[in-house]
A and B are shown apart, each in its own frame.
Chain A
Amino acid sequence: MHEDCSINVRVNGVTFQQTVPVRQTLVDFLRDSLGLTGTHVACEHGVCGACHVRMNGETIRSCTLLAVQADGSEIETVEGLSCNPLGAALQEAFIKCGGFQCGFCTPGMLFTAMDIVESGARDRMAIREGLSGNACRCTGYQPIVDAIQSVAESR
């Protein structure tokens, strides 16, 4: 009833070949099998965005994807973000602007932030719209908008 399957993934530039249960989600695979606990699980039903990672360059919700669906993919998690110039700039801006408090939503938020900057949005309303799929319970969002806007404007 519960099958296993072998997958190949490249995560933050490192290749892994692992046998995973077919029903294991991508986020559980990253956290439990690879020990990359920077990506967080907050809802497990694809609403809050805490589980965002990039798969083949696109930001996805890893809680509603199975690990087997990531076979053959290139994954970027928050642990690899400081190697990405935009990611690193956003991390610094988030720190400076108070863009997080408890930090639980932050890894997922950073990927969305990259999407927003890359889209060319600079106006606060557009940034807020872009953030609408990421829940934060601590900051009230304003300093996150400040951080993203500061990076967007510097480009």
Chain B
Amino acid sequence: MMSTNNAFGGSAPSLSAARLALGEGAYLDDQQIPGQLHIAFVRSYLAHARIISIDYSEASKLDGVTAIFDGESLRDVCKPMHVEFAAFPDYKNIAQPVLAIDEVSWQGMPVVAIVAISKAIAEDAAELVAIEYEELEAIADPVAALELDAPVCISEASDNVAFDRIFGCEEIDEIFDKAAAVVCHNFTFDRQAGVPLEPRGIIAHYKPKSGFMDIVQSHQAPNQTREVIADLLSINPLKVSVRLSDVGGAFGVKLHAYPDEIATCAASLLLGRPIKFVADRMESFISDVQAREAEVTARLAVDGDGYILAFDVDVVSGLGAYSTYPRGSLSEGIQAVQLIGAPYKVPAARGRLRVAYQNKPPSGMYRGVGQPIAIAVTEQLMDMAAKALAIDPAEMRRRNFLPNLAQKQTTAFGLHVSGLSSTQCLEKLLETMDYRALREDQVEARKNGIYRGIGLSSFVELTAVGPGFYGAQKVSVASQEGCSLRLEPMGLISCETSVTDQGQGTLTGIAQIVAGTIGVPLNQVSVRSAGSDGVTYGGGAWASRGLAIGGEAALEASRTLRGNILEIAGALLQADPDNLDLVDGCIVQSGVERLSLKELSEIAMFRQHLLPDGMKPQLSVIHHHVMRDAPYLAANGIHGCHVEIDSETGTLKILGYWVVEDCGTVVNPLLVDGQIRGGVVQGVGAALYEHCVYDSAGQLTNASLADYAIPMAGEMPDIEIAHVETPAVETALGAKGAGEAGTIGAIGVMWTAVNDALAALGARACRQPFTPDRILEAILTAEAERRN
């Protein structure tokens, strides 16, 4: 019998909430190791240059400086970062040393590391380091980087091509030649930054006598860090221990192994002292992974009734100077192609992906990882096709959706999906936003010279990604998650999960699953996230897997522990365990409370002599879940947005925003909706405000929060959210990932809303972010074209 405890499905606030609200968080820079030193980096201010000489003699004389390292001095203790993909041998990567040797290829690349008794002194010393560079030609633009005569972004490379692939069917032109209507659009997505508010940081402490390396890190994947550090510094992994601090936001940025963090560990190895590194904000802008730089040309062919015939896309993705380590920098480009047309029935599709090296910081994973681009391209083309055939854009979606079927269907680029609910989500959205009324209002407003737009963005996304991709590449990324439970004295349950939480609230969701499945009140469960020393081994946090995979492991472990508890209860009460229930921490038989879990735990842990002969209580259980029945869990949803554009200033106001999300079973509505809203605002920011502005020499010109505009409260709307729940059939829990859905839909909805508003002026927006000057440019260009 299952417990009737209602922890599951309730909007319990995050378990760490009180601690964080009271200022008792322990973020990376809050933590101190006795005797710790501080490290600061001298970074290249040029995007491409040869290093002629490094002179740190003045810097080393400064009082309080302990040691100074450069690429040469770390060479013997630290291997370079070399990404290798087994299934893509043509993905050419040059090994990046953690401190530059001979050549710098991106502005911000660390060259010299200074260790001192305080950060201030380390930074003072950094200013005294003299580096002579011979400037080389930098290539910043990814499309230009692919041209035959383009300067090479790293001297030893033969060209700037990281990857060049055609997905889908190669012969597709005939379909376009014969189609009733073809629409085309060019899309420029500017480079963006994740900007978690807490910067990156690490404390590395190597103990030379015992050979142990203790690491505290603001990160998403402690096991990955352990394996990387053990490998690159040649330390026995069993002597490397990584635990995470509280993490002040990550969004994928903190999923990577960074050269400055590895260099910090190498410096500790050489000095035998604890060393702390915390990036400052400008440093974060020039050295955190960036994302989303892409040039896309795309077209859609439809028949006379608006049914999709084919998609054809060409994506050029800007990788940066080096791939990020160890996961590489292809995922964004690949997903930008592969998720094209995903919600729809698409008979044919072709996608060309070229990934270009360029003299910019490495690009990597940032919320959505290419899926926002794919959905924006898809939805923009769908809107244009709708207009070309005078079909209402919502109807255009409705006609083309893959149906809500339990069995597997295939998307445009061959992704297997099942259990979609796109049509249901659309209908719910149209009702919630009162679509009809908004369209009528749009017509009226236009008569008065007011330009309003309605955006729709339907998406299918891949969540809870399994071992298929990295496994095939032989890159050691864990896609499983584990849960270990222990019955404690006093009838409490302690839980260790390999899932990591940077604010998502997944640990709370796991506590709810444990409490609800075992049958105890929520406040009798305590959850902690394992570091690398835990008994569980998992991926931590990536590709929206916390509850979908980690929660499933928790569910399985809970069922096992509950069974073990009831077996003991049966022995004590001389009853069949199948006739017993555990409700609110009490063993219940035929509706009568017989024994508290507290009493049971006392006996099972300290007075086993009272149990039947031979019975050995197993009160610790561990279970891991990995995606086997499907390569991922496909989730879906739709965003709607109502905007108004001022045609004189180019400014935009969001009048309304709606989301209908289907992420399967919802364990905690408060936390899921929190993820959706946060994701939406990051997506809106990406669409309207955010870009890393590089000049042609690869210099970042807006490396501060004053210049890189992240959304603030005054510009953002209230977001109305509704849910459809189609539980995943591949797991008992049925939860799909929800962390990225807000961003994946939001970027597309802003493209369609802006272009829907501009359509009345005959204008088209092609470059994201849609800053006021770009909107004005689109309007003025259209006016000029009309005059000619």
Q: CB within 8 Å of B: which residues of A?
A: 21, 23-24, 31, 36-45, 47-48, 50, 77-79, 81-82, 91, 94-96, 98, 100-107, 110, 124, 127-129, 131-145
Contact = CB atoms under 8 A, between A and B. Distances in A.
Given A45-B706, A81-B23, A95-B21, A134 B713 contact: yes
B681 A140 contact: yes
A135 B705 contact: yes
Interface in B699-736: 704-706, 710, 712-714, 716, 718-719
B428 interface: no
B716 A40 contact: no
A137 B250 CA distance: 10
Interface in B10-51: 13-14, 16-18, 20-27, 29-30
A81 B22 contact: yes
Nearest to A108: B197
A95 B30 contact: no
Nearest to B17: A95
Among B13, B25, B197, B674, the most chain A Cβ lie within 10 Å of the Cβ of: B197
B277 interface: no
A100 B18 CA distance: 11
A103 B713 contact: no
Given A47-B706, A103-B503, A141-B713, A21 B197 contact: no
Interface residues of B, number: 54
14 contacts: A21-B120, A37-B30, A42-B198, A43-B704, A45-B704, A82-B22, A102-B198, A102-B248, A103-B20, A106-B20, A137-B251, A140-B678, A140-B716, A142-B719
Nearest to A95: B17
A111 B4 CA distance: 41
Given A42-B281, A102-B197, A138-B249, A94 B712 contact: no
Contacts of B21: 91, 94-95, 100, 103, 106, 110
Interface of B: 13-14, 16-18, 20-27, 29-30, 120, 195-199, 246-251, 280-281, 502-505, 670-671, 673-674, 677-682, 704-706, 710, 712-714, 716, 718-719, 742
A102 B502 contact: yes
A54 B81 CA distance: 46
Contacts of B22: 38, 78-79, 81-82, 91
A39 B280 CA distance: 16
A148 B505 CA distance: 21
Contact of B670 (A98, A110, A132): A98
A140 B249 contact: no
A132 B712 CA distance: 6
Given A40-B198, A45-B706, A102 B247 contact: yes
Contacts of A37: 23, 25-27, 29-30
Nearest to B673: A98
Contacts, number: 168
Nearest to A41: B29
Nearest to A101: B503
A129 B680 CA distance: 20
B503 A47 contact: no
Contacts of B197: 40, 42, 48, 50, 102, 104-105, 135-137
Q: Which 7 A-B pairs have the closest CB atoms?
A: A38-B23, A104-B248, A103-B20, A102-B503, A101-B503, A78-B23, A140-B677
Contacts of B196: 102, 104, 137
Contacts of A100: 17, 20-21, 503
Given A137-B195, A138-B249, A139-B677, A40 B713 contact: no
Given A42-B197, A42-B281, A47-B706, A139 B712 contact: no
A124 B510 CA distance: 33
A139 B705 contact: no
A47 B704 contact: yes
A107 B14 contact: no
B280 A44 contact: yes
B505 A101 contact: yes
A43 B679 CA distance: 22
Nearest to B21: A91
A103 B27 CA distance: 10
B674 A98 contact: yes
Contacts of A135: 197, 705, 710, 712
Contacts of A132: 712-714
A101 B14 contact: yes
Given A137-B251, A139-B677, 14 more contacts: A21-B120, A42-B248, A47-B706, A98-B13, A98-B671, A100-B20, A101-B505, A103-B246, A128-B714, A129-B713, A134-B713, A136-B197, A140-B678, A142-B677
